[in-house]
Structure 1
Amino acid sequence: MSRPGAALRRRAERVDAATPGHRDRAVDALRAGAVLGVVLGHWLVTALVSDGRTLRAASPLQHMPWLAPVSWAFQTLAVFFLVGGHVATRGHALARARGIPYRRWLRDRLARLFTPVAAVLTLWTTVTAALLLTGAEYATVRTLVKLALSPLWFLLVFAALTALTPLVARLHPLWPLAVVLHVDLLRFGLGAPDWLGRLNLAAGWLVPYTLGAAWARGELERRRSGWVLLAGGTAATAALVAWAGYPASMVGVPGAGVSNLDPPTLAAVTFGLAQCGLALLLRERLRRVMRRPLAWAGVALVNLSAMTIFLWHQTALMATTATGLLAGRLPGLHTVPDGLGWVAVRLVWLPVFVLALAVCWAAFRSWERGGGGRRGRSRVVRAHRPTAKDVRHV
């Protein structure tokens, strides 16, 4: 083995040794997969088209709707809420057993969610002001800011459900599912106003969150549970798309009359049930894979940087796009996503997006798990070789 390869393996073995034996590594693998799925999905279906003066958002799904299966593979938010419900329920139960007050438990969890947000808001406030003062087109500024801050809606919903964990931890998933069903019936069947759909922002994501809570209580350990969710969710989603008029894409498409994601529709929720079922079925296989030091070290690193990756991946995309404009309109970056040629070139751009995200990670990682001060910076230095304390708090 080459010297760099041997050093990498030794480092991975140290991470593996630092991990408590009781940790369920499948949970971390699912969370890492969910985060990376969202990032890759956005990079594949989000385009910024330049006409020489402005940038506008577009999507290959507008021009090639038969690419909808791409959204099935990379719209993984339900898995994130499944893991979030599982972790929060177990964490709250452990805090109660240790005599930790609810207020302190919630404060610590929300601090880990929102401390990195300060860096995003600070940077984009500065960038927005600079663009407007230098005469940038308002439509361009609006497009960029909307994309940069779009991940924040997820955090608000996730934080609200986290705060409600003591109340919803024992809620049966069928209750929020019934809310989503009735809201959709009112909206699409009886002509109720669109604002009613906002109820599904909580109810829709509460379904996988409560499934995660049930998993934490040991109620979903049998493989039958996973198969029921996978088969039932798949069948229900197929029926809703084929016969009830729901969009096939599980992400929003610019210009479409109905989005499955904003707010979540019944089709998005049943699709999430299928994803949760698949996640539960993969647990044992993931646990076996995560026994390999290299695989586990990679998953641990993604989890330690999950918020940074999630919050800055759209900025990495836009930074690449803006920098590329200096060389003119580049295919796959500034051109209309209307053919397979665009898709092929966009795949070539993905490593550049990864590099731009790595730069954002290096600059803003200190805001995650410790804020932007000296303590946060010290964690950046050792992020490639987590300590036992770091790994325990992934």
Structure 2
Amino acid sequence: MASASSAVRTPATNLTGRLRQFTARIESRTPAHRDRAIDGLRALAVTAVFLAHWLVSGFTLDGEGALHTASPLSSLGFLAPFSWVLQLLGIFFLVGGFSSALSLRRHTARELLVGDWLRGRMVRLGRPVLGVTAVWAALLACLSAAGVPGGTLRTAGTLIAQPLWFVGVYALVTALTPWCVRTAERLGGWAAAPLIGVVAVVDALRYGPYAEAMPSWLGLLNLLPGWLFAYQLGVAWGERRLGRRGALLLLAGGGALFALLLLVFHYPSSMVSVPGEARSNSNPPSLLVPALASVQCGAAILLRDRISRLLQRPVLWAPVVVINLFAMTIFCWHQTAMLAAAIPSSAFGPVPGLTTPPDSAAWVLARLAWLPVFAGVLLIIGRFTRHFESPWTGAGRARRAVAAALAAAFALYTFGTG
């Protein structure tokens, strides 16, 4: 007979027990040599990406019930400093460069070809992107047939394509890894200095006294050096050519430059594009991007040991492992999770925090309440789409051709309506 002290298990206690087993299983499978700080920084950067998009991507409804994007930063400018915290792409490129340098070193140590290493990296980046764009090409056709307004379809296509530019830029800087390694071997962390110098010169031309005479495409010259800056620092860090002294210089110098650009040269305070603003710090990157990345990278290097010790706790380490395992799935599908809530809701009129104008503190509070819903939907979507990250061994040539054709159709639709 059961003792009086053995209480009936409730769903809450069962869930707690399963979570403990889950975290213990992850902890037991983690190799002792695993660099937990690097994984933790990557997970932090990925989390910041989807939180930022969920918080700054508001919607409004037109007279036909179609969704259109709107940003709370247009009306609530005091929220701009939050973009300094949520824009952690500098950290993402830093850990990307660090990991790529170590991975390339292990690959070449086994006397394998650099081209094979690069091909593997490109395939791993490309599979999830091909998957999400192919699925959305089919979804757009189905939604159109179901009578969803064309404005909503155009908004959805734009939001899905919006984060994917990052994958293209990241693929480009990854392709430059061998060059970055050789440069870091010679110059250490100083190899990144010419990159920030290029961005400064381009900004001086497009924002200086002769800005009106400059071509409109000039800012695109910042696209590669603006994001390669943090990646190059990561490579130097991985090659053990960037330590605490360099990190302190990055932190102090980047902070001083960031303040100078905001207070003296009056750069826009938001790190993300704001509708209606003539200038953007991110599209293409301005000098404020590497300045903030310098601060973030310096802080990350200095805090590495503390982060590593903190993540020795299984309860903190488990979510880091999960986010890293499905980073590309999260990145490619987080906008879909938000749209999965917004598109059906648009049929019922304005919904606070979802399809109402993002122009008040009440909207911010309501949107915060929607975040768990978006996260839950993303978890459901991820169960079915995470397989896009794995090798498509079961897909025949015909299925791959269909996926490629659908992805191309999505690209044509997005560029045609953008």
User: Aligned partners of 1:170, 1:243: CA distance in 2, in Å?
Assistant: 37
Alignment of 1:19-34 (within 5 A): 19-34=30-45
- 1:295 paired residue number: 316
- 1:196 paired residue number: 218
Matched letter for residue 70 of structure 1: F
Q: 1:329 to 1:177 in 2, by over 3 A?
A: same
Deviation at 1:73, TM superposition (A): 1.1
User: Aligned partners of 1:170, 1:244: CA distance in 2, in Å?
Assistant: 35
Moved more, 308-317 or 292-301: 292-301
- 1:311 paired residue number: 332
User: Aligned partners of 2:124, 2:48: CA distance in 1, in Å?
Assistant: 21
User: Aligned partners of 1:312, 1:124: CA distance in 2, in Å?
Assistant: 10
Matched letter for residue 121 of structure 1: T
Q: 1:215 to 1:49 in 2, by over 3 A?
A: same
1:143 and 2:155 aligned: yes
1:212 and 2:205 aligned: no
Moved more, 186-195 or 296-305: 186-195
Contact 1:366 1:372 in 2 (8 A): no
Alignment of 1:177-188 (within 5 A): 177-188=196-207
Deviation at 1:294, TM superposition (A): 2.0
Which one of the candidate residues 195, 199, 203 is aligned to 1:176?
195
Alignment of 1:123-138 (within 5 A): 123-133=135-145, 136-138=148-150
- 2:73 paired residue number: 61
Matched letter for residue 34 of structure 1: A
- 1:345 paired residue number: 366
Q: 1:62 to 1:281 in 2, by over 3 A?
A: same
Alignment of 1:1-394 (within 5 A): 2-53=13-64, 54-133=66-145, 136-171=148-183, 172-189=191-208, 190-191=210-211, 192-222=214-244, 224-371=245-392, 373=394
- Measured against aligned partners, the alpha-carbon deviations of 1:4-51 in whole angstroms (never above 9, x if no partner) come to 433322332221222221121100000000000011011111111112
Larger Rg: 2
Q: Match of 1:57, SS?
A: strand
User: Aligned partners of 2:369, 2:182: CA distance in 1, in Å?
Assistant: 46
Matched letter for residue 194 of structure 2: W
- Measured against aligned partners, the alpha-carbon deviations of 1:42-94 in whole angstroms (never above 9, x if no partner) come to 11111111124221111110001111011111111111000111111111111
Contact 2:67 2:343 in 1 (8 A): no
- Measured against aligned partners, the alpha-carbon deviations of 1:188-243 in whole angstroms (never above 9, x if no partner) come to 11222221211211110110000000100112232x33222122112211110111
Matched letter for residue 111 of structure 2: G
- Measured against aligned partners, the alpha-carbon deviations of 1:242-280 in whole angstroms (never above 9, x if no partner) come to 111210000111111011000000012101111111211
| TM-score normalised according to structure 1 size | 0.91
- 1:387 paired residue number: none
- 1:392 paired residue number: none
- 2:188 paired residue number: none
- Measured against aligned partners, the alpha-carbon deviations of 1:299-351 in whole angstroms (never above 9, x if no partner) come to 01100000000110111111110122233210111111111011011111111
User: Aligned partners of 2:390, 2:291: CA distance in 1, in Å?
Assistant: 34
Moved more, 277-286 or 344-353: 277-286
Matched letter for residue 239 of structure 2: R
Contact 1:81 1:212 in 2 (8 A): yes
Contact 2:196 2:226 in 1 (8 A): yes
User: Aligned partners of 2:392, 2:83: CA distance in 1, in Å?
Assistant: 34
User: Aligned partners of 1:193, 1:105: CA distance in 2, in Å?
Assistant: 38
Q: Match of 2:68, SS?
A: strand
Aligned length, in residue pairs: 373
Contact 1:226 1:281 in 2 (8 A): yes
Q: Match of 1:48, SS?
A: strand
Q: Match of 1:316, SS?
A: helix
| TM-score normalised according to structure 2 size | 0.86
User: Could you list the runs of 5+ residues in structure 1 that have no partner in the other structure?
Assistant: 375-394
Moved more, 131-140 or 24-33: 131-140
Deviation at 1:371, TM superposition (A): 3.5
- Measured against aligned partners, the alpha-carbon deviations of 1:88-120 in whole angstroms (never above 9, x if no partner) come to 111111100011211211121111111111221
RMSD, matched Cα: 1.7
Q: 1:26 to 1:194 in 2, by over 3 A?
A: same
Q: Match of 2:32, SS?
A: coil
User: Aligned partners of 2:321, 2:170: CA distance in 1, in Å?
Assistant: 21
